[in-house]
Amino acid sequence: MIADLANPERFERFVKPFWLTASALAVILLALGFYFGLFHSPADYQQGDTVRIMYVHVPAAMMSMACYTAMAVASIVGFVWKHPLADVAAKASAPIGAVFTALALVTGSLWGKPMWGAWWVWDARLTSELILFFIYIGYIAIWEAVDDKIRAARLAAIVAIVGFVNIPIIKFSVDWWNSLHQGESIFRRGGPTIDGSMLLPLFLMIGAYMMVYAALLVPAMKNELSARRIARLERMGGVSGVRPE
């Protein structure tokens, strides 16, 4: 099925039902996640109601890394196999991932002030996540800066793949070095250290964020394909004047 979608026309036929499904799921999961997260889950024994920031922070941080991983994989496929949709997918992922990263940084900061006593510290986890944000911005800047889109795709892919070095550093920073940020709570040996009543809203929100990503990614890819088609037609002189630039 994925191979069939390599054809941009088939891809465009697939976009609408996929987008509708993902958007509907995103709305439902977000509504449920916020309901359980804000009204139907307990306050933490230490953090009180501040624990609820976790339900927007943790999924944002996870998606900041998941988006980047998707971008790096798409970049490899695009760079090596020249798959026609791969660099479109990578390019479309970047702004979404950058927003997830910014959200993780901001919500983390809002949690850090009341809990730690500081908005920001330069420990390994926070610093590597901030670097991830800069890598996203750099990646987006390359697409904007290089006019020849084939060259831009190649350069951007190299940046995305090299930048992937940072992802395991973020993930394991709390194990490799002393950090102020707490360690892993969910995927750890011996099971999660989060009470079940708090895991429910957390997992709902993780699902919601994934659907938000899907619902934003596919139309962004479609727009990119349309923009490329317009650029191609303009070069051929077919529709000069359609985009007054």
Partner 1 sequence: MTRKQKRGVFIGFIFAAAALGVFAVLASLNSAIAYFYTPSDLQKLAKPPAGVIRLGGLVKQGSVAYPGGSTTVQFVVADKFAQTRVTYNGILPDLFREGQGVVVEGKLEPDGSVEASQVLAKHDEKYMPKELADALKKQGVWQEKNAPHS
Given candidates 6, 31, 80, 145, which one binds partner 1 under the rule CB under 8 A? 80
Does the footprint of partner 1 cover residue 43 (CB under 8 A)? yes
Instruction: Decide whether 137 or 194 has the Cβ nearer to partner 1.
Output: 194
Does the footprint of partner 1 cover residue 114 (CB under 8 A)? yes
Residue 63 near residue 97 (C-beta atoms within 8 A)? yes
Of 12-20, 31-39, 86-94, 191-199: span binding partner 1 (CB under 8 A) = 191-199
Measured at the CA of 214, the angle between CA 209 and CA 219, to 5 degrees, comes to 135
Instruction: Count other Cβ atoms within 10 Å, centred on residue 41.
Output: 20
Instruction: Count other Cβ atoms within 10 Å, centred on residue 103.
Output: 18
CA gap 125, 171 in Å, rounded = 8
**Tokens at residue 217, please?**
């990614």
At 6, the amino acid letter reads A
Q: Which residues, numbered 1-40, are part of the site for partner 1 (CB under 8 A)? A: none
Does the footprint of partner 1 cover residue 158 (CB under 8 A)? yes
Does the footprint of partner 1 cover residue 47 (CB under 8 A)? yes
What is the smallest separation between the CB atom of 189 and partner 1, expressed in angstroms? 12
What are the distances in angstroms from CA 211 to CA 11, 207, 231? 19, 6, 30
Does the footprint of partner 1 cover residue 177 (CB under 8 A)? yes
CA gap 244, 136 in Å, rounded = 29
What is the smallest separation between the CB atom of 38 and partner 1, expressed in angstroms? 15
- The footprint of partner 1 (CB under 8 A) covers 42-47, 51, 54, 76, 79-81, 114-118, 121-124, 157-158, 161-162, 164-165, 169, 177-180, 182-185, 188, 193-195, 197-198
